[in-house]
Structure 1
């Protein structure tokens, strides 16, 4: 009897593992009616001063979602010719600016700043916190074909900037913030609860749900295995 229950639990565990493996490699297209989202990590668990990936190619209408890691980073739009400085307003419209995003190692959720791609023109961006931009924390959405205007060239010029500029617009300009907290001051010292806003879900979000459900199923299978052994 014990062997039968143990075998059944093991078979369930193997089946779930096989199903998860097949699901993870088969979902390439976004579900019907959703918006494709490109996920960018602002730093990482090691605290690297990087955006990953630092170059993104996105079609008009798609989202670029920046996930902020500890400790305090930000996202500001700039131009290639003036790195680490906020993009000047054009026809009264400023570049995107997330505001400062303080995140602690104990945080259970991370703030996400989403930008909708409205055209295919290059959008250069940087972290306006301290000297993060000068250290290489910069990137570009839809890099130009011009071989002289690369992210490497941008970062080389950024390294020579004396002080990174902080936009004087409100945090959340040109995009939407979800999760975590959004500071109300430029130094990130006074965070308030961020307001959720609607955003599309793409392949990355769908894969996240798949993994979540897989772990839940794995937990049930392991529980069954423990019960079988106990009997």
Structure 2
């Protein structure tokens, strides 16, 4: 059985003077992001921590959830991609993004077969 392995992050308008780090576990409880939704303000950070792997985090368009989103300026570079990461022993890799917009963003795991529509 294939599962949709994705995360929808909803951004909200917040104070520019303070920020919050929102933690997201990657594959801690199966092939999912936990939590599977985050509400973050501009200036906040979202930190992904890997518990198993290899897994990754890539930005996609909501209507194309399994296709890496490309930069509008270049048309060929991926806007956001962590690369594939695998924990080793007690070391858990992390990847952090800064929230720059209040627009919703969709992420998924780009490992073949993990993201299905």
* Aligned residue number for residue 22 of structure 2: 38
Give deviations 1:103-127, integer Å, cap 9, x for gaps: 24xx121011001000111110000
Aligned to 1:113: 95
| Offset of residue 34 of structure 1 | 6.5
Larger helix proportion of the pair? 1
Give the aligned partner of residue 54 of structure 1: 36
Give the number of the structure whose residues are more often strand, by fraction: 2
CA separation in 2, counterparts of 1:52 and 1:108? 19
- Between the two proteins, the alignment pairs up a number of residues equal to 99
Q: Provide the residue aligned with 2:3 in structure 1.
A: none
Gaps of 5+ in 2: 1-16
Point out the structure with max Rg over C-alpha: 1
CA distance in 2, matches of 1:114, 1:54: 16
Q: TM-score, normalised by structure 2?
A: 0.77
- Cα distance change of structure 1 residues 34 and 112 upon mapping to structure 2, 3 Å threshold: farther
Paired with 1:34 and 1:89, the residues of 2 have a C-alpha distance of 28
Q: CA deviation at 1:88?
A: 2.0
Equivalent residue runs for 1:80-229 within 5 Å? 80-92=62-74, 94-104=78-88, 107-134=89-116, 158=117
- 2:47 is the alignment partner of 1:65: yes
Cα distance between partner residues in 1 of 2:66 and 2:100: 22
Q: Tell me which of the two structures has the higher relative contact order, counting C-alpha pairs closer than 8 angstroms and 6 or more residues apart.
A: 2
Query: Which deviations, in whole Å up to 9, do the C-alpha atoms of 1:1-53 show, x marking residues without a partner?
Result: xxxxxxxxxxxxxxxxxxxxxxxxxxxxxxxx873100000111x5x010011
